Chain A
Amino acid sequence: MMTNPTGRITQGQFSFLPELTDAEISLQIDYGLKKGYAWSVEYTDDPHPRNTYWEMFGMPMFDLRDAAGVLMELNNCRKTFPQHYIRLMAFDSARGIESIAMSFIVNRPASEPGFSLERQEGNGRTQRYTIRSYAADRPEGERGNGKA
């Protein structure tokens, strides 16, 4: 159990709010589609803050213009990886942006063990810090309550 005020990992746009329902997620997807973004689904069992590349659950859905389709992909991912972190990401390909425009977590493992902070003492009172995912202590494929 993490000790921050939410008790969980706070990455993404909406981690401080109650879990979004599928209807609420659809509204967010619609907002992105209206802006011309492409949605994609990504999942991981190692939510380290610097773990940039979560696994892609298929390609970004550049040609999908319907929230129901995106939600279907998300639910497929949830069925396959129920104990993983899953995030929805919207890409904006407009010149000068060409990056992620929205990102929020839509699935979490039942328990979120969080991270340890390891310190290595250096000269002049300096310290080297290493953040370790407790979840990553186990081998790939054996994390997330042994499933997946």
Chain B
Amino acid sequence: MESGTEARTEGATAITDAKKRYRAGVLKYRQMGYWEPDYVPKATDTVCLFRITPQQGVDPVEAAAAVAGESSTATWTVVWTDRLTACDTYRAKAFKVEPVPNAPGQFFAWVAYDLVLFEEGSIANMTASLIGNVFSFKPLKAARLEDIQIPPAYVKTFKGPPTGLIVERERLDKFGRPLLGATTKPKLGLSGRNYGRVIYEGLKGGLDFMKDDENINSQPFMHWRDRFLYVMDAVNKASAATGEVKGSYLNVTAGTMEDMYERAEFAKDLGSVIVMIDLVVGWSAIQSMSNWARRNDMILHMHRAGHGTYTRQKSHGVSFRVIAKWLRLAGVDHLHAGTAVGKLEGDPLTVQGYYNVCRDGFTRQDLPRGIFFDQDWCDIKKVMPVASGGIHAGQMHQLLDLFGDDVCLQFGGGTIGHPGGIQAGAVANRVALEAMVKARNEGLDIATQGPEILRKAARFCSPLQQALDTWGDITFNYTPTDASDYVPTPAVAH
């Protein structure tokens, strides 16, 4: 790759003479000490990679220095009160700038942050710096936090997932295959009694989990207590009918923490193994619910409602891989991380990158998957990624091939919309899943032989045949908006 933009021009480097540096007035950010091309990040530094689009005429190095400044100590003018502090150590340091391949006007900027800058165990504090003011800064047309490397010293200030995918499997007694779920549909309008019917049919038919949708809280058509009572009746009935541990993610998202705690306590009293919250509740609420889940042996499901507003566009926002890293530290057990083949945004390699962030013990730099940094997870527990949104049994080989066993596959419409009914839909998905896992273990190449494996399984399972007849040709092959800058990848072909 081309070497970085050199800082050559007048006033390009930090002013070291203190008298000149702190004279009242306005200096360039790089003159103030936010650009240090020779800086080598310490093992305790957090390193961020920003994609920046400077305004016309703004030098990329100055823009990178401004990002470092505005996300750490800087204000727009020189302040003498800096001199009351060890300000050199508090300044974030931009240390590398490179043009983004094949993206005129965009630059990657690497910025290092000292460990002292972030309160231990607080994603809220870290995000207030890293994605605070800086994203509205006028000299930048756009900015995106692409990736982050969090040092072990900071990772260890978080407790991480309350349960983790290994212990989740032990509690559920489910091993060696993806978990299978479905989101109850329609999302809105069902009464508690009707809602529980969908739960019972899906679980008895063979699913491990059913799920509240993100916007089911406590509306006039179904108050939360009513939902919880009927759902847990369905869960227990289905468990007795199958001999398996079953669950249904009870969404405890509410207007206040007090309400969320009340709902979570009720879910626990009724014997639920899992509760869920939406990403829109915010970082502090997520960490509080994580603590609650840890105290109460509860699996905590995270629905990433709202993330698309800031993760999807490549030029501006925060990459989902960064959100996934923060959520693993904040402590969730399940996280929606994309399907690659379904109805929602997701380039296959990029999505695999999110999955790796959730599940790795140590994540290696992997540019085709959008992973810019090594990340040591310091034995923090693993998050179970969830694939949900417009997927069906006919894609089982692609899903298993892309994501492996440690994933929860959720077929909402693909279960409930089955022509033979909800139980038949569940059977179709479970048979497709088990047949595909078995075939893969036997050494077959499921990526190419998948459709044939499904057809063969459908010979002894008419619900699967019906599912393939109904949805076999449904694909969502649109070009992803967020693919790696290093290898262009097409959407998964059917």
**What is the count of residue pairs linking A and B with beta-carbon distances less than 8 angstroms?**
125
Q: Does the CB pair B170–A131 fall under 8 Å?
A: no
Contacts of A97 in B (CB 8 A): 166
Stretch at the interface among A16-24, A67-75, A139-147: A16-24
CA distance A14 to B131 in the complex (A): 47
Stretch at the interface among B69-77, B83-91, B437-445: B437-445
Which positions 201-246 of chain B face chain A at CB distance < 8 Å? 204-206, 225, 229, 232-233, 236-237, 239-245
Q: Mark A48-60, 1 if CB is under 8 A from B, else 0.
A: 1110100000000
Q: Mark A22-34, 1 if CB is under 8 A from B, else 0.
A: 0010011001000
Is B144 among interface residues, defined by CB-CB distance under 8 A?
no
CA distance A96 to B376 in the complex (A): 13
For the complex formed, measure the closest distance between the CB of A6 and the CB atoms of chain B, giving whole angstroms: 8
CA distance A101 to B165 in the complex (A): 12
Interface of B is mostly: helix
Q: Which of A17, A100, A104, A114 is within 8 Å of B241, CB to CB?
A: A114
Q: Does the CB pair B206–A100 fall under 8 Å?
A: no
Contacts of A31 in B (CB 8 A): 441-443
Contacts of B424 in A (CB 8 A): 5
CA distance A124 to B265 in the complex (A): 14
Q: Mark B441-456, 1 if CB is under 8 A from A, else 0.
A: 1110000000000000
For the complex formed, measure the closest distance between the CB of A129 and the CB atoms of chain B, giving whole angstroms: 4
Q: Does the CB pair A131–B269 fall under 8 Å?
A: no
CA distance A20 to B243 in the complex (A): 20
Closest-by-CB residue of A relative to B237 is: A117
For the complex formed, measure the closest distance between the CB of B294 and the CB atoms of chain A, giving whole angstroms: 19
Q: Which of A10, A24, A124 is within 8 Å of B243, CB to CB?
A: A10
Contacts of B236 in A (CB 8 A): 117, 129, 131
Is B490 among interface residues, defined by CB-CB distance under 8 A?
no
Is A102 among interface residues, defined by CB-CB distance under 8 A?
yes
Q: Does the CB pair A99–B169 fall under 8 Å?
A: yes
Interface centre among A13, A104, A127 (most CB of B within 10 A): A13
Q: Mark A89-129, 1 if CB is under 8 A from B, else 0.
A: 11000011111111110000000001111000000111101
CA distance A52 to B245 in the complex (A): 11
Q: Does the CB pair B361–A96 fall under 8 Å?
A: yes
Given contacts A50-B245, A104-B176, A114-B243, whether A27 and B442 have CB atoms under 8 Å apart is yes
- How many residues on the A side are at the interface (Cβ–Cβ under 8 A)? 46
Is B67 among interface residues, defined by CB-CB distance under 8 A?
no
Contacts of A127 in B (CB 8 A): 229, 232-233
CA distance A2 to B434 in the complex (A): 20
Q: Which of A27, A96, A100, A131 is within 8 Å of B239, CB to CB?
A: A131
Closest-by-CB residue of B relative to A2 is: B241
Q: Which of B244, B423, B441, B460 is within 8 Å of A18, CB to CB?
A: B460
Contacts of A117 in B (CB 8 A): 236-237, 239-240
Q: Does the CB pair B245–A49 fall under 8 Å?
A: yes
Q: Which of A11, A50, A95, A125 is within 8 Å of B229, CB to CB?
A: A125
Q: Does the CB pair B437–A13 fall under 8 Å?
A: yes
For the complex formed, measure the closest distance between the CB of B386 and the CB atoms of chain A, giving whole angstroms: 20
Contacts of B431 in A (CB 8 A): 16-17
CA distance A95 to B362 in the complex (A): 12
Closest-by-CB residue of A relative to B435 is: A17
Q: Mark B153-189, 1 if CB is under 8 A from A, else 0.
A: 0000000000000100110010111000000000000
Q: Does the CB pair B177–A10 fall under 8 Å?
A: no
Write 9 A-B pairs (CB below 8 A) sorted by A numbering: A5-B206, A13-B434, A13-B437, A24-B442, A28-B441, A48-B243, A102-B175, A103-B175, A131-B239
7 smallest beta-carbon distances between A and B, as pairs:
A9-B243, A102-B176, A117-B240, A31-B441, A129-B236, A115-B240, A103-B175
Q: Which residues of B approach A to under 8 Å, CB–CB?
A: 166, 169-170, 173, 175-177, 204-206, 225, 229, 232-233, 236-237, 239-245, 269-271, 361, 379, 382, 423-424, 426-427, 430-431, 434-435, 437-438, 441-443, 457, 460-461, 463
